[in-house]
Each structure stands twice: as C-alpha cells, then as structure tokens.
Structure 1
C-alpha cells in the first residue's frame, strides 16, 4: 500500500491545484509588488472576528435598523462606538500582517497605502479568495420561520399538464388545422 492510499482526506491535493499555486502576486506600484498566500489562512480572519471589533454585533445593529437609511444608521453606530474607525483600520492592518508576514508587511506599510488602496486590494482579494463575509456572519437559524407552511390551493389537477416529461399537452379539436 502506498502512502497516498492511507489518506481518507488529502488536503494537500486541492492546495496544489489552486489557481495560484505559488501565491497571489499583487502589483502595488511600479516599484512594489507583494505575494499573498494562494489560499486564505483561517487565522487571517481572527482580527476581523475579534471581540474588540464586535463585527457580529455591529452587523446585528445594522440589521435591526429597519426602515432607516444605511448612512443614517452607520453614522449613529459611529457615535455609539467612537473607537470603531481606528479599531477597524488596525484590524485590517493585522489581517494584512497575517497574510503577508512580518517582512512583506513592513514593506507594504513603507509604500504608505491609502484608504482607497486598502479598499481596492481587499475587494480584489475577497474575489480571488472567494470569501463571502455575509455567509461567515449569517445566522444559523436564518432559514427557519415561525409561520405556517404553505398549503396547496386546490387538490385538483389539470389535464393540461402532460403525464410524461417532454410530451405535449392535448389540444382542443377546434385548434387543429384541416388538411
């Protein structure tokens, strides 16, 4: 028996077949490029999921703000959580440090990325990594309902629905053409 036959699940195989097996090369400027890991390491989400940031609570507050504009609610949340903008920026930087490693992160900070740079880069990485933060923070019981299940409006069936797949329904004699 070969060693490959011993594994029930081989996580190395999908990683070798990743679209970017050597990493995701990002050109920041003519003089600066950075190599992000080919797959998103789980610990890169730790800063985003920190209790200090309380992103889940923040999203919960936004969801509960029904009927108000998103801008109004965000402004109110910022007043209730004045540390949030600085904390969020620190969390983003911590996440990039996990992704890039100490040396590349120091080089990245040295090129002085702007807020729009962070936004564009994060959006691009989210697309490449295929991460949907909405699914990460989705409620486990979001598909449950307290309402009654629907009932058919009629127990009768119609003759216009064909019995076999692909067969045509019968047509009335008046619509047949004369030869």
Structure 2
C-alpha cells in the first residue's frame, strides 16, 4: 500500500457528477457535459488567432485616471473586425469538444445566444471557474514596485517541534490581578 501526498482524483467532480453533467436542452432532449472541464476545451477561446487575451490586454490598458475610457475600448474592438465571427466559431468549437458526439444533438435544438450565455454561466459555476476573478487578479498583480524581500532568513527556527502541544502561558483567570 502506498501513501500519496496529493491525490488529484479525490476532488474530481466525477464524485459529484459520476455520469457527467446532464443538461436539458429541449422539451425532450438532453446532453451530457463531462464532469471535469477538459483543458483542451479552453484552446479555441485562448487561441492566438482569436487573440482574446490581446483584446483583454488592450482593454486593461484603456483604463485612465477616471476609469475605463470607452473610446479606447471601442478602438481596440474595431481593430479586430473579424473578432465576432471568430469568437462564435471558438464558442461552437469549445462546445463540440465538451459534448463530443452529442454536439450534433445540441445543434439540432438551435440554441440561441441567450441559451449559450445561460449554459456557459451555469457551467462555469459547476466547473468552479470564476473568470472575473481570474482576469481581475491577473491585471491587479502587475506592479511597478520592487519585489518584497524576506524579513528574516531564520524566522522558522522559532517554531516548536511539537505541533499542537499546549502552551505554557497562565490562563487569564489564574492571574492575581
């Protein structure tokens, strides 16, 4: 018997959704998304051809002293006239990766833009993705300040060897004050 420091299979959503994420898509139709988001499903959205990351970078740079400058955001979008079609193609490709053979069944119900938005929103919650936090933390992590340094190289030597042992301090009710 071996002991693992980390077992990545223990926390998988297959435990919560052993048969996948079954999703109703029509009156009498359903498709099944994988319990875990496959890494390859992000490839179409993050492709260099789509350049969504570049657009987000341009939007982040469009922020002036009084907030986001709309004219710069609009200019960044208009520099990419093929973006809407490429984005829709990337969304379809992502869903094709997620659904595999069931993608044709999904397409037969002719999902609307609203259907894609609602479904994507629900799936990001189930998959545990928070894109707003990811993008916000990536933008906020940039800093012009110097990197902080360690305050004391030997600061851990004062840690007790016996973890969880009782402290030798008197209880406040035991004091003679």
**For residues 64 and 104 of structure 1, do their structure 2 counterparts lie closer, same or farther at Cα, with a shift above 3 Å needed?**
same
Structure 2 equivalent of residue 41 of structure 1:
38
TM-score (norm 2): 0.70
Greater relative contact order: 1 or 2 (C-alpha under 8 angstroms, separation 6 or more)?
Answer: 2
1:142-157 to 2 correspondence within 5 Å?
142=141, 144-146=143-145
Q: Please tell me whether residue 93 in structure 1 is matched to residue 109 in structure 2.
A: no
TM-score (norm 1): 0.69
Give yes or no for contact 2:60–2:139 (8 Å, CA) kept in 1.
no
Q: Work out the CA distance in 2 between the residues paired with 1:59 and 1:114.
A: 25
Give yes or no for contact 1:23–1:35 (8 Å, CA) kept in 2.
yes
Structure 2 equivalent of residue 29 of structure 1:
26
Deviation of 1:135 (Å): 5.0
Structure with bigger gyration radius: 1
Gaps of 5+ in 1: 150-165, 168-179
Give yes or no for contact 1:15–1:21 (8 Å, CA) kept in 2.
no
Gaps of 5+ in 2: 149-171
Q: Work out the CA distance in 2 between the residues paired with 1:72 and 1:21.
A: 48
Structure 2 equivalent of residue 79 of structure 1:
78
Q: Work out the CA distance in 2 between the residues paired with 1:77 and 1:109.
A: 32
- Measured against aligned partners, the alpha-carbon deviations of 1:62-120 in whole angstroms (never above 9, x if no partner) come to 1111246576555433321110000000000111011100x200111111111111111
Structure 1 equivalent of residue 166 of structure 2:
none
Q: Work out the CA distance in 2 between the residues paired with 1:40 and 1:99.
A: 8
What RMSD over aligned residues (CA atoms) do the two structures have, in Å?
A: 3.2
**For residues 79 and 143 of structure 1, do their structure 2 counterparts lie closer, same or farther at Cα, with a shift above 3 Å needed?**
closer
Q: Secondary structure at the match of 1:34?
A: strand
Q: Work out the CA distance in 2 between the residues paired with 1:40 and 1:62.
A: 27
Q: Work out the CA distance in 1 between the residues paired with 2:103 and 2:125.
A: 21
Q: Which runs of 4+ in 1 moved over 6 A?
A: none
Q: Work out the CA distance in 1 between the residues paired with 2:122 and 2:59.
A: 25
